[in-house]
Structure 1
Amino acid sequence: MISALLDIFWIPIGGFLSFLIFISAINKSIGVRRAYVNLLLRIFEYGRVSIETASKENQHFSVHNPKTDDKQGVQLVNDANSKEGTNGATLITRDAVLLPQAQEPAPEKPVSSKNDEINFDFEKCLDYVKSGVEAIIEDDVTSRFEAEELKSWNMLTRTNRHYEFISWKITSIWVFGFFIRYVILMPLRVLVCFVGVVWLTVCTAAVGYFKDGPFKRDLVHKVLGMCFGVLSSAISAVITYHNEDNRPSSGICVANHTSPIDVLVLMCDSTYSLIGQRHGGFLGVLQRALARASPHIWFERGEAKDRHLVAERLKQHVSDPNNPPILIFPEGTCINNTSVMQFKKGSFEVGGVIYPVAIKYDPRFGDAFWNSAKYSMMQYLYMMMTSWAIVCDVWYLPPMYRQDGESAIVFANRVKSVIAKQGGLIDLVWDGQLKRMKPKKEWREIQQVEFANKLKSDST
């Protein structure tokens, strides 16, 4: 009896799944995902209003019952009135920020004689002491490697603020949503992901037998678009592309980096060559599959540290106009969708055209940021497949060229600022690798010299 009911339940779902895979394979959309996202927005809004109403009632109850130890009610009020935003809002406002690069040099002072008196006031150090305390409370780096704060609860346990039991209506919605995500969506997404990976492996292996030429390049473009379209269904991706006239066709494409899904998001719309370190496991399967069909640059761990070798391979790829544009994430690590951090200068030294791309995820439906220090790839995929959806915007920006006399570092910063402005992200000068290493010795020495110069100029 139970098996018969399960068969009746899964037959229509299986048919609907097959239909969705077919639609994704031909790169078409019937609007199901966007309708699903719009429905979620209405549910989230209803939840926000219900939570705020319950919080006010708890606050009113606490005021009229001062002896009541209602810590949960107080916490709900504080969370409901929180002003933290989704774009990296900070707790404190800094008057002086110590940056990892030299500032404008202090004006030269006339050489003082031995008889000149040098006065030292302790208060001259207070600005630096204040900056140090502020950095301890909340620095600009470590907060970029944690999930960004949401304005309101999105009905996910991983962003739980003890709201699921605030009222029976919210509890009912949360339980129903849990059932939908874990009992229906997750098994279907795992199945679609498996089908997508197998389909990608088979198709790229078949395409690899064709001779290089215009026909193969056109075939690769269609096959990869089809395969990544299927894989995007595994995370219910809803992607909006802007300014498609600026879509890169050759050269180097650089983008801010939030997640390994960034590659999937961009490959659904165009074909790119990839550059990076060879991986094992799930990523290794995808790397080997892609390498069969189109040119990519994969390095062993030791080779990836050889800048000259990387630059030479990159120049060879870019010099061939038949190669697809090569996709590079100059930050070198994943940042939490609130900021753009320092771009490595290597890809900006090659020359030629640079195509900037800004990617911004909507955190209300699921946090796309991959904290590799906390979660493995399989744990991350599990979180993606149990999220509501992955919703993002992609902006293709006008091509940029290195100006005469412009250094690679200045060019990289100029491209970074354009991406940050378009994506509504905070433009930071810090190196994202600080989550794995200590600050460079040169940075500390620069600050020490500046501090000494400040004391000298204030004392004379």
Structure 2
Amino acid sequence: MFNGIVDVCWIPFAGFISFLIILSAINKSVGVRKAYVNILLRIFEYGRASIESASKENTQSVRENVTSDQNASVQPVKDVDANESTNGATLITRDAVLLPQAQESGNDKPQTLKKEEFNFDFENCLDYVKSGVEAIIEDDVTSRFEAEELKSWNMLTRTNRHYEFISWKITLIWMFGFAVRYSILMPLRVLVCFIGVVWLTVCTAAVGNLKDGNKKRAIVNNVLGQCFGVLSSAISAVITYHNEDNRPSSGICVANHTSPIDVLVLMCDTNYSLIGQRHGGFLGVLQRALARASPHIWFERGEAKDRLIVAERLKQHVSDPNNPPILIFPEGTCINNTSVMQFKKGSFEVGGVIYPVAIKYDPRFGDAFWNSSKYSMMQYLYMMMTSWAIVCDVWYLPPMYRQDGESAIDFANRVKGVIAKQGGLVDLVWDGQLKRMKPKKEWKEIQQVEFANRLKSD
């Protein structure tokens, strides 16, 4: 009897899951996700108002105690506005003293100084001392490799671990949200993700046997759109696409990089070819599945160091107009959704049209940034599936071409500037690989020469 009751209960549940998957597969929405996001925004706003009210009461209580005990004038304490954030906007105004210089070739070396007698003026080194102190107070680089600071608490203890007990109402909301995320949303999302991966593997294996041509490309675009639509349900993705007239149809598409989800976000709208290193595990399964249906460029770790091999394969792909646009993240690493860092020049040397795309996530619902040095892929997926949702905006920008006499580095910087401006991101000149390696020796030598030149007295 008990088994019969369980079977009956599973029928509506299975029907509900099937209904969600079908809607995702046909790229249709009944407004459930947007309504869910709007409800969350109201809850967050209530939490923000409650936190501000409690903060003001605590501040007022401290002022009254100090006044009564000391009978002295007290300077008013400035409350921290929950709408203000220091991440992405610098506290300090820096001078461009210690910045990497753009080099056309890795073999370029700074000019050495001849030994000459010169007078030393102590004030000439103060700019460097000032820059060093500023870097200690607020590092402009490594802060981009940590989770983005929230403007207001989003009811997740991973972003703050004391606000949940600021009042009994907030505690009740937090406990209810915790139960919903871990007992309802997470199991559903894991199930949908499993079904999506299986569906992607089966579909790509089927369409991979079709004869190459325009008909196959149209079928692949439709099939992959459905598959990635299902996978987007596993993270409750709410994606808004802007300027769809500029959507790339061929050539090279470049975008800022926050997480592996960037690929999912863009592939829900149109099909892309991908370029990157071969992976094992979960990513490896997806790579092999995608390779059956459409042309992608996967290379081994040893080949990644040979720029000529990668560049040649990239040129061959772009030269075929029947190939989908190839998606490249020129930063080469994930940045925390506040900035755009140095673009590698390789994809800008190929020639042809470049389609810039700006991606900006809303951190209130979940942190999409993948700190690969801290979390494994499975840990990252766990955090995504236990977040409230993944909400983001995608802007397709007008195609850009390399101008006459413009170097690949200048072209890359121009494209990067356009993406940063559209996405409301900070445009930085630093290499994102600094989170894994030390600064290049050439950079240090350039700064040493520049410092010595400043010390020289006419």
Q: 2:208 is aligned with what amino acid?
A: G
**Aligned partners of 2:169, 2:79: CA distance in 1, in Å?**
19
Describe the shift of the 1:413–1:95 C-alpha distance in structure 2 as closer, same or farther (beyond 3 A). Answer: closer
**Aligned partners of 1:160, 1:328: CA distance in 2, in Å?**
34
Describe the shift of the 1:27–1:34 C-alpha distance in structure 2 as closer, same or farther (beyond 3 A). Answer: same
Match of 1:253 in 2: 253
**Aligned partners of 1:67, 1:288: CA distance in 2, in Å?**
70
Among the aligned pairs, what percent are the same residue?
A: 86
Q: CA deviation at 1:87?
A: 5.3
Match of 1:426 in 2: 426
Match of 1:238 in 2: 238
**Aligned partners of 1:137, 1:238: CA distance in 2, in Å?**
37
Normalising by structure 1, we get a TM-score of: 0.91
Match of 2:176 in 1: 176
**Aligned partners of 1:325, 1:79: CA distance in 2, in Å?**
50
- Mean Cα deviation higher: 93-102 or 132-141: 93-102
Normalising by structure 2, we get a TM-score of: 0.91
Describe the shift of the 1:444–1:62 C-alpha distance in structure 2 as closer, same or farther (beyond 3 A). Answer: same
Match of 2:73 in 1: none
Match of 1:154 in 2: 154
Q: Secondary structure at the match of 1:157?
A: coil
**Aligned partners of 1:438, 1:84: CA distance in 2, in Å?**
32
**Aligned partners of 1:346, 1:94: CA distance in 2, in Å?**
30
Q: CA deviation at 1:96?
A: 4.4
Q: Residues 247-396 of structure 1: matches in 2 within 5 Å? A: 247-396=247-396
Q: CA deviation at 1:10?
A: 5.2
Describe the shift of the 1:97–1:244 C-alpha distance in structure 2 as closer, same or farther (beyond 3 A). Answer: same
Q: 2:402 is aligned with what amino acid?
A: R
Q: Secondary structure at the match of 2:276?
A: strand
Describe the shift of the 1:402–1:143 C-alpha distance in structure 2 as closer, same or farther (beyond 3 A). Answer: same
Match of 1:439 in 2: 439
Would you say the 8 A contact 2:48–2:82 is kept in 1? no
Describe the shift of the 1:298–1:60 C-alpha distance in structure 2 as closer, same or farther (beyond 3 A). Answer: same
Q: Secondary structure at the match of 1:380?
A: helix
Would you say the 8 A contact 1:332–1:344 is kept in 2? yes
Would you say the 8 A contact 2:252–2:355 is kept in 1? yes
Describe the shift of the 1:86–1:5 C-alpha distance in structure 2 as closer, same or farther (beyond 3 A). Answer: farther
Gaps of 5+ in 2: 69-76, 104-115
Q: Secondary structure at the match of 1:164?
A: helix
Would you say the 8 A contact 2:340–2:428 is kept in 1? yes
Q: 2:444 is aligned with what amino acid?
A: R
Would you say the 8 A contact 1:87–1:426 is kept in 2? no
Q: Residues 88-127 of structure 1: matches in 2 within 5 Å? A: 88-101=88-101, 118-127=118-127
**Aligned partners of 2:64, 2:257: CA distance in 1, in Å?**
50
C-alpha root-mean-square deviation of aligned residues, in Å? Answer: 2.1
Describe the shift of the 1:118–1:300 C-alpha distance in structure 2 as closer, same or farther (beyond 3 A). Answer: closer
Q: CA deviation at 1:135?
A: 1.3
Q: After TM superposition, where is structure 1 displaced by more than 4 Å over at least 4 residues in a row? A: 1-11, 77-80
Q: CA deviation at 1:62?
A: 2.5
Would you say the 8 A contact 1:100–1:430 is kept in 2? yes
Deviations along 1:299-337, one digit per CA (max 9) or x if unpaired, are: 011011110000000010001000000000000000000
Match of 1:110 in 2: none
Count of matched residue positions in the alignment of Structure 1 and Structure 2 = 438
Describe the shift of the 1:197–1:102 C-alpha distance in structure 2 as closer, same or farther (beyond 3 A). Answer: closer
Would you say the 8 A contact 1:85–1:149 is kept in 2? yes
Q: CA deviation at 1:13?
A: 3.6
Q: Residues 129-168 of structure 1: matches in 2 within 5 Å? A: 129-168=129-168
**Aligned partners of 1:262, 1:251: CA distance in 2, in Å?**
19
**Aligned partners of 2:6, 2:95: CA distance in 1, in Å?**
63
Q: Secondary structure at the match of 1:30?
A: coil
Deviations along 1:404-442, one digit per CA (max 9) or x if unpaired, are: 111111111111000000000000010000111111111
Would you say the 8 A contact 2:82–2:152 is kept in 1? no
**Aligned partners of 2:426, 2:237: CA distance in 1, in Å?**
25
Q: Residues 9-28 of structure 1: matches in 2 within 5 Å? A: 11-28=11-28
Gaps of 5+ in 1: 69-76, 104-113
Q: Secondary structure at the match of 2:388?
A: coil
**Aligned partners of 2:252, 2:299: CA distance in 1, in Å?**
18
**Aligned partners of 1:50, 1:355: CA distance in 2, in Å?**
44
**Aligned partners of 1:102, 1:131: CA distance in 2, in Å?**
20
**Aligned partners of 2:123, 2:7: CA distance in 1, in Å?**
78
Match of 1:74 in 2: none
Q: Secondary structure at the match of 1:125?
A: helix
Deviations along 1:203-223, one digit per CA (max 9) or x if unpaired, are: 000001111011110100000
Would you say the 8 A contact 1:255–1:330 is kept in 2? yes
**Aligned partners of 1:9, 1:59: CA distance in 2, in Å?**
52
Q: CA deviation at 1:234?
A: 0.2
**Aligned partners of 2:65, 2:421: CA distance in 1, in Å?**
49
